Amino acid sequence: MPSVPKLEAIVLAGQRTKGTLAAAGPEPWEALLPIAGQPMVGYVLEALAASGVVRAVHVVGPDWERRAPLDSDCPVTVLAPRDTLWENLDIGLAALASSDPALVVTGDIPLLAPATVREFAEAAAAADAAAGGVDIVYPLIPRAIVEQEYPEVHRTYFRLQEGVFTGGNLFWVRPAALTALRAHAERLLAHRKSPGKLAGDIGWGVLVRYLLRRLKLAEVERVAGRLLAVRGVGLVFPHADAGVDVDKLSDLELVRRHVAPKAPVLPHA
C-alpha cells in the first residue's frame, strides 16, 4: 500500500476515573492509570509517534507530557480538558494546524501498536480515494480476531451480513465534518431513551433487517450518512489492539497482563 502524508492526531484523554476503575487507585484521571510503570495514555502516544504516519499529537487531557516526556520527533501538545466528550473534541479540532484529514484516538487503548496506526492510516486514505472522498473512516474489527488475540476480553458486538464486529477506537476524519456532525449526533442522543423516536430516526425496515441478520455494511453507511449528514466508510480492520479499551477494572487487569514492564518515567526537573 502506498505511503500517505503524515497526519495530525487528537488523543481524547479527558475522562475522569469512575465506575469499577475507581478501585484501581487514587489517580483521578483514567488516562494516567499506571500500567507497568507508565501512564496508560503514554502507550497510545508512543504508538502514534512511532507509527511513521503522525507528525504532531494534541492530547486533550491531564498534563501527561510534563509528568512523562515523550522521547520523539513527534511534538505533543497537552490541552486542558473540559467536562464533555464533545467539548474535548472541539478543543482538539481547534488545535489542528490545518483542515487536512486527521486521526482521532481515545487515550484508553494502551495495547495499540505503531504498525496498527500506520496500517489504519494507509487503509483509510485508500478507502477515501476509492470512494471519491469521505468524511469519516471507522474501523470494524471482526469478533473472531478479537477473541483469538484476547480471549478474555469482553466487548459489545454487532452482526451484519458481512460478519460479527466490534468498533475500534481510532478514526480517520475530515475536521470540518466533525464540527458539522455534532448537532445531528446530539439529536440522536436525545432520543436514546425513547425507542420509538430512535427507531423512527433509524427506520423500522433497517431495524427489522438487523434483527433478521440481513443488514449489510453499505446500508449502515447509508443510514449513518443520512442521520449524521456525513459520508462515512466502515473499514473491516484485522487488528484487535485498536479496539481493546479500558473502561472497567477487568479491562485494566487484562492490559496489565499483556504489557511488558517499563522502567519508571521521571517528571521534568
pLDDT tens digits, 50-79 = 999 999 999 999 886 555 556 567 889 999
pLDDT of residue 269: 34
pLDDT of residue 166: 92
- Which ranges of the chain have pLDDT less than 50? 1, 264-269
Count other C-beta atoms under 10 Å from residue 246's C-beta.
26
> According to CATH, what is the number of the domain 7-258?
3.90.550.10
How confident is the model over 229-261, as pLDDT tens digits?
Answer: 789 999 999 999 999 999 899 999 999 998 866
> Average model confidence (pLDDT) for the chain?
85
| 206 exposure class (CB count in 10 Å sphere: 0-12, 13-18, 19+) | middle
pLDDT of residue 259: 87
pLDDT of residue 183: 72
Residues 128/2, Cβ–Cβ less than 8 Å: no
